[in-house]
Amino acid sequence: MKKISLMGCPNVGKSVVFSRLTGVSVISSNYPGTTVDFTKGTTAIGGEKFELIDVPGTYSLAPTSKAEEVAQTMLQEGDIVIDVIDSTHLERNLYLTLEILGRKKPTIVALNLWDETKHVGIDIDVDKLEKLLDVPIVPTCAITGEGIKELASKLRDARQSKAIEPMSEEERWLKVGEIVSEVQVVHHRHHTIWERIADTTVKPITGIPIAILVILLTFLFIIVIGNLIIEYLMDPIFYNYYGPWVVGVVNSFSPDGLLHDILIGKSTIESLDFTQSLGLLTTGLYVPFSMVLPFVITFYFMLSLLEDVGYLPRLAVLVDTGLHKLGLHGSAIVPTILGFGCNVPGTLATRILETEKQRFIAVTLMAIAVPCMAQSAMIFGILGRYGMKWIFIVYCTLLMLYIFIGLLLKKIVRGESPELLLEVPPYRKPDPSTLLKKTWSKAYGFLAEAVPFVILGVFIVNLLYVSGVIGVLSTVFSPVLTTLLGLPEGAIVALIMGILRKDVAIGMLLPLGMSPQQLTIACIILTTYFPCIATFFVLLHELGIRDMLKAAGLMITVSLTVGIIMRLILIGI
Amino acid sequence: MMENPLSDMNSDGKPVPLTTLLPGEKAKIVALGRSIRGQHHFRTMGLMEGKIVEIIATQPARGPLVINVEGTQIAIGWGIARHILIQKI
């Protein structure tokens, strides 16, 4: 089977072309560098089968980064190259094209985003470009599928360019300039009113108030809509339909005893208890589906919306100066926001930062002070009943930790903190179906990951109680928990569970009958002391053992210190 | 690096750093300075000698500049921007 390499610069819609050619759906995002590994697929064109490889986007073949090394190897392996170009940025895309053509592989060029050239006032003479490059060129619009058929049918015409020879970097830029001046005409265009409005979101005087408003509205949307879903959809399902049914079924074969308690706890049809019964089929399902999922859905909906509209790079510009004080730069806001969904993708996304120092700081701050949505949902759930004040205390404490630890790490971690250099893409109208697809795929990902682990967690808690291990551990840790932190001995079960899953851990606090002050302290400690197991392994992979140990030492120290301070402030001595 | 020695030479079209421009002003790039990711990175973003840049926004306390080069907006740290030399037009 012949191999086709799909190559191009970042953010040119390569993954969409891949989906169109193979029928495999690949999730594309509106910031560069989302294809970390390469994707493979097969496609049949004119009766012949091809293997298609989606190579990570790169600006050049000179191996200065991981993505470029991968691209280099993929190019050597492929039999045919499809070079995808963003037609609205011909000049900077052509550099890679000339590099590819210099390697003398049979090549065909897709001028993608062709429809947008008309909107931005660019004319490209395709025939002339075809002559100058001496390979077939097809204008495409992958999003709508226009030109994809022609691209596939012209694949057999892919050929080695006789016009483009290998050359030096300097010569290549000169050649790019030459070609562009011959084939492209840019019509002068005045700023439209919409562009003027778009600009106000990056000017500090207007941009900062807008950013605060956007963040507040996002937060409000997540909480209000999340709560509405719980109140009018999830709770009625659980309390009116699922609860009576599951209790009835379990009672029919096991009216009491150990199995009954492990499955549904002490729940009866008259008094359904989903939060404290600790049954696999009651708490084990209620926590992920009713307490967490609604907030996960609303969070990822808002995140996808901000991402697709193109607001995040503008937020990066506005917070850049502040984040520099913490040894980071504006781009670090993207992994941080992802971390509020789940620390695992958040940690992986810190790869967009350039230096080891920045990555260590970003990852450590996230592990300590950024609660994932599952954790936040449970914090809203158990502290919300005592008033917004307590939730506010938890998040303010975490924000202060983020700032203080960042200031400290900037001073003590060695290495460079480079400056921001980031393209700010134009605002785009989000496509509702893409938006819903993205939200659904993230929510589904959450359920696939969370449900088995939550049920496992609840099962382990049952074992710990039944076997009496909890009693022993409570006594052992009681000096730290009771004397230093002012928490009941039983809180140890939450700390143990927190290593598996934070949402279950916070749920474990409910049966302990704690005061709002104690719950607040416990929530802060559970957020900061150690990451959940999934995040731990990603951290280990990204940081290596030595840095992971340093980060873990910091987490435990910070957690204990802030726990004691909060105890003194909220409860007294 | 408080005051750039070139800053008082802008009146007769001599090169000055990009950071001396105000929002709304336009200039032509005459030289690219160094960057941690190399000059190549500038060029792949469309920043090249001879290109016209317009300042869209600046941030306080030497924060990043947002510039427009041929319809593409780029956010660029102050520390990098001061190595890009321009001629006011």
Same domain, yes or no: A131 and A220: no
Using the 3D structure, point to which of A127, A154, A186 is the last residue of a domain: A186
Task: Single out the residue of B61, B58, B74 nearest to residue B20, CA to CA.
Answer: B58
Interchain pair B59, A169: CB under 8 A: no
Nearest CA in chain A to B64: A317
Structural domain boundaries, residue B57: 23-88
Is residue A110 a part of any domain in this protein?
yes
Is residue B47 a part of any domain in this protein?
yes
Q: How confident is the model at residue A26 (pLDDT cuts 50, 70, 90)?
A: low
d(CA A244, CA A248): 6
pLDDT higher than threshold 90 for residue A126:
yes
Is residue A540 a part of any domain in this protein?
yes
Instruction: Please give the full DSSP string across A187-254, using - where no structure is assigned.
Output: ---PPPHHHHHHHTTTSHHHHHHHHHHHHHHHHHHHHHHHHHHIIIIIHHIIIIIIHHHHHHHHHHH-
The domain total for chain A is: 2
pLDDT higher than threshold 50 for residue B3:
no
Q: Which of A119-123, A193-197, A290-294, A390-394 has the lowest mean pLDDT?
A: A193-197
Rounded to the nearest 10 degrees, how much is the dihedral formed by the CA atoms of A228, A231, A232, A235?
A: 140
Same domain, yes or no: A120 and A213: no
Structure tokens at A458: 């609840």
Its sign, for the CA torsion B11, B16, B22, B24, is positive
Q: How confident is the model at residue A232 (pLDDT cuts 50, 70, 90)?
A: very high
Same domain, yes or no: A210 and A172: no
Q: Which of A60-64, A168-172, B42-46 has the lowest mean pLDDT?
A: A60-64
Predicted local confidence at residue A65, as pLDDT: 63
DSSP A427: P
The Cα of B29 is separated from the nearest Cα of chain A by a number of Å equal to: 15
Same domain, yes or no: A156 and A229: no
Predicted local confidence at residue A30, as pLDDT: 43
CB environment A329-355: b (16+ within 10 A), e (fewer): bbbbbbbbbbbbbbbbebbbbbebbbe
A 433-492: CB under 8 A from B:
none
Share of chain A above pLDDT 90, in %: 65
The Cα of A63 is separated from the nearest Cα of chain B by a number of Å equal to: 12
Predicted local confidence at residue A1, as pLDDT: 84
Using the 3D structure, point to which of A129, A152, A186 is the last residue of a domain: A186
Same domain, yes or no: A214 and A140: no
Is residue A195 a part of any domain in this protein?
no
Predicted local confidence at residue A29, as pLDDT: 46
Is residue B68 a part of any domain in this protein?
yes
**Mean pLDDT calculated for residue range A511-523:** 94
d(CA A292, CA A234): 11
Is residue B17 a part of any domain in this protein?
no
A8 backbone φψ class: left, alpha, beta (φ>0; ψ -120 to 50): left
Q: Which tens digits make up the pLDDT trace of A384-439?
A: 999 999 999 999 999 999 999 999 999 999 998 888 988 898 887 888 887 898 89
Strand A421-424 to B65-69 pairing: unpaired
**Mean pLDDT calculated for residue range A533-542:** 92
Predicted local confidence at residue B34, as pLDDT: 67
Structural domain boundaries, residue A153: 2-186
Is residue A191 a part of any domain in this protein?
no
Chain A residues touching residue B59 (CB < 8 angstroms): 204, 317-318, 320-321
Rounded to the nearest integer, the mean pLDDT of chain A is 90
Interchain pair A419, B40: CB under 8 A: no
Residue appearing with tokens 């495999």: A24
Q: Which residues pair with A45 in a beta bridge?
A: A48
Same domain, yes or no: A122 and A247: no
CATH of the domain at B73: 2.30.30.90
Q: Which tens digits make up the pLDDT trace of A202-218?
A: 999 999 999 999 999 99
Same domain, yes or no: A322 and A283: yes
CATH of the domain at A46: 3.40.50.300
Q: Which of A56-70, A517-531, A546-560, B50-64 has the lowest mean pLDDT?
A: A56-70
Same domain, yes or no: A126 and A213: no
Is residue A193 a part of any domain in this protein?
no
Count of H-run helices and E-run strands, chain A: 26, 9
B39–chain A Cβ distance below 8 A for any pair: no
Assembly ipTM: 0.85
A119–chain B Cβ distance below 8 A for any pair: no
Task: Single out the residue of A208, A92, A144, A199 nearest to residue A427, CA to CA.
Answer: A199
d(CA B51, CA B18): 13
Same domain, yes or no: A138 and A251: no
Q: Which of A428-432, A547-551, B65-69 has the lowest mean pLDDT?
A: A428-432
Q: Which tens digits make up the pLDDT trace of A253-273?
A: 988 888 999 999 888 888 888
Structure tokens at A170: 């300097």
The domain total for chain B is: 1
Is residue A196 a part of any domain in this protein?
no
Is residue B84 a part of any domain in this protein?
yes
Same domain, yes or no: A166 and A297: no
Residue appearing with tokens 């919409």: A194
Predicted local confidence at residue A372, as pLDDT: 95
When scoring B42, B44, B62 by the number of chain A Cβ atoms within 10 A, the one with the most, hence best to mutate, is: B44
Q: How confident is the model at residue A514 (pLDDT cuts 50, 70, 90)?
A: very high
